[in-house]
Structure 1
Amino acid sequence: MPEPRFPGFDVLSQARYWDRETTAVVVARTGPQPPLRFFTPAEEATARALLDQLLDHPDVPLLPAIDARLAELETDGWHYADMPMDDEAWRRSLHALDEEADGPFAALSEVQQRALIGRVQELTGEHWHGMPAKHVWSLWTRYACTAYYSHPTAWNEIGFGGPAHPRGYLRLGTDQREPWEVADAHSSP
């Protein structure tokens, strides 16, 4: 395991400066996750394997966050005109992965999974199972990255101090740290 970029930083130590509602939302992301409501068990297995490949086995529970968004139809507020709505696009793309795997995508080796996902990524300008491959790739990565970077574990990794409300930020310039922030161990002095 590599040395942390912001050693000793824990964004949750800043929770005392957030309002009650913000704290409840952020802390809930670190606790037990609710049962899935959108994905079927087969889709869950495929989606977990896909997300593990996209973000190299992240320490953040991505699938529950994505599942909750899709169950609530909480999208980015837009979708590509040549794609189905996000919930349908997720279902179709997961079924397509299983179809290409000639069985459960999750049952493939990690090398095989990476190769299959890589083929989708490389199909720029082409369709994959009736959808533009580049837009399928965008769907997967948008949701994966949104889920990842909404979690305090990822915030610690990037040195993000958490919500600005109600405390705010004082030092808004380049190379300026708040008094409570930790220096980047990988930057030059």
Structure 2
Amino acid sequence: MVDAIAIDLPGFGDRASEGYADVRDVLDDLCKHLADLDLSRWVIVGHSMGGKFATLIAARAREGAAGLSGLVGVVLVAGSPPSPEPMDENRRAEMLRWFDDPAQLTEKAQKFIDDNTNDGLPEEARRQAIVDFVRTSPEAWKGWLAKGSREDWSAQAGVIALPCLIIAGEDDGDLREAAQRLKNAPHFRTVDSAVVPRAAHMIPQEQPDHLAELICKFCQTISATALPVQFVRLMASDRVSDRTRCAMLARHSGPGRTDGSVLSQAQLGVLAAVVARILPGASEPSDLARRLDAGLATGRGDGWRFADLPADVEAWALGLDTLAAAEPKFARLQGDVQDAILRAISTGDFDTQNEPSRLSANGMRLWFEDVASEAARLWMSLPATWAQIGYDGFATGDRGPLQGYQETAADVPEAWRLPLGSVR
């Protein structure tokens, strides 16, 4: 079940009387509103001009802004990008004049609907759209078209680790799928996209059921990776600095498509199977394998290697290839059989068939020790693991001197602490 909270932008909807506010002021306003809602697990959905703000809010969450740490995903629906919105300048100039004559607003609203839908709207949806258009602040309408939509915030947006679903209308003019891939997709590490048939720009009014289905499916997909509610609340508290919160969120998000890879898909499959036996039930093995691979690609390892092994990138690939060559079906074997093979490797008794292009039995012993150590180190460094074991040592304070701990007796927790096991 997903609860939906609608937020009007200044100058529009129920906030039409507020007039125009520039991008920074609107962004500050929305971030404060979201922090006041005290949401512990949420997805932000931005339609049209709201897409620009959804992306920029996600960027602030990435930087550890207080009150936004529960954000787990972004949905852009025909979203305006952080960079200047693509728009025909003649059409922009025409639209800037629409509010000059109040007597023609209803006619202009009808034109707006016709221009931005595939085949009009159902009667009730059309009526509401006209009402919303007519009550829009003229200053906000003109301000967005002339200024806000042209502001370039792409540098501030950067690349965001949160998963993003980009939804485009099949018949949208300026913001169809190609524009979304060019303007919005590069700002997210992980992107899924969907094209809504028989829809243009006003997707929420044209295809509301289809849109709701896409959003709910996206929420279900990412919910498994969300941090527990109590843990997020502690992260969002004033006991955690923005810098620490930022680092934790980045670590939780993990590597993306731009972080590099040195292992083949076959090698990653074997590594995931090995990790699953080293840390049974501790985490998603394929995720840990992907993180280990990214660490190899970037050199973010433990800083040492065995003298009898080559550099980590070569050693790990050789070890995985040696295991796969001796046990071609290793990844599909039963757990107890895999355990027996890994025990033989750990004691130096693994038969490598004396292949000169593979690691020796002793080399495999050292390789496995390194893999086991690095997998355990990586797993223990993840915020999801801290939540699972009830670790809260990161919550040392944000303002003034470190707040630290007051209670030192055994089995006497601080009032703010996470009860062990309560956030699993």
- Tell me, yes or no, whether TM beats 0.5: yes
Give TM-score, length-normalised by structure 1: 0.76
**Aligned to 1:144, which of 370, 375, 378?**
375
Task: Report the count of equivalent residues.
Answer: 176
Whether the 8 Å CA contact 2:380–2:386 is kept in 1: the answer is: yes
SS at match of 2:272: helix
RMSD, aligned α-carbons: 2.9
Identical amino acids, percent of aligned pairs = 22
How far the C-alpha of 1:166 sits from its partner, in A, is 4.6
Alignment of 1:1-189 (within 5 A): 10-16=230-236, 17-31=239-253, 34-35=256-257, 37-60=261-284, 61-101=287-327, 103-123=328-348, 129-130=359-360, 131-164=362-395, 166-167=397-398, 168=402, 169-171=404-406, 173=408, 175=410, 177-184=413-420
How far the C-alpha of 1:122 sits from its partner, in A, is 2.6
Whether the 8 Å CA contact 2:234–2:395 is kept in 1: the answer is: no
How far the C-alpha of 1:172 sits from its partner, in A, is 7.9
The CA distance in 2 between the partners of 1:174 and 1:134, in whole Å, is 43
How far the C-alpha of 1:147 sits from its partner, in A, is 1.6
Q: How has the CA–CA distance of structure 1 residues 170 and 57 changed in structure 2, closer, same or farther, with 3 Å as cutoff? A: closer
How far the C-alpha of 1:108 sits from its partner, in A, is 2.6
The CA distance in 2 between the partners of 1:174 and 1:119, in whole Å, is 45
Q: How has the CA–CA distance of structure 1 residues 133 and 181 changed in structure 2, closer, same or farther, with 3 Å as cutoff? A: same
- Give the AA of the match of 1:179: A
- Give the AA of the match of 1:147: L
- Give the AA of the match of 2:414: E
How far the C-alpha of 1:106 sits from its partner, in A, is 1.4
The CA distance in 1 between the partners of 2:396 and 2:313, in whole Å, is 32
Moved more, 134-143 or 25-34: 25-34
Q: How has the CA–CA distance of structure 1 residues 171 and 117 changed in structure 2, closer, same or farther, with 3 Å as cutoff? A: farther
Q: How has the CA–CA distance of structure 1 residues 141 and 32 changed in structure 2, closer, same or farther, with 3 Å as cutoff? A: closer
The CA distance in 1 between the partners of 2:346 and 2:292, in whole Å, is 20
How far the C-alpha of 1:96 sits from its partner, in A, is 1.2
Q: Whose RCO is larger (CA < 8 A, sep 6+)?
A: 1
Q: How has the CA–CA distance of structure 1 residues 172 and 117 changed in structure 2, closer, same or farther, with 3 Å as cutoff? A: farther
Give TM-score, length-normalised by structure 2: 0.37
Q: Which residue of the partner structure matches residue 183 of structure 2? A: none
SS at match of 2:300: coil
- Segments of 5+ residues of structure 2 without an aligned counterpart are 1-227, 353-358
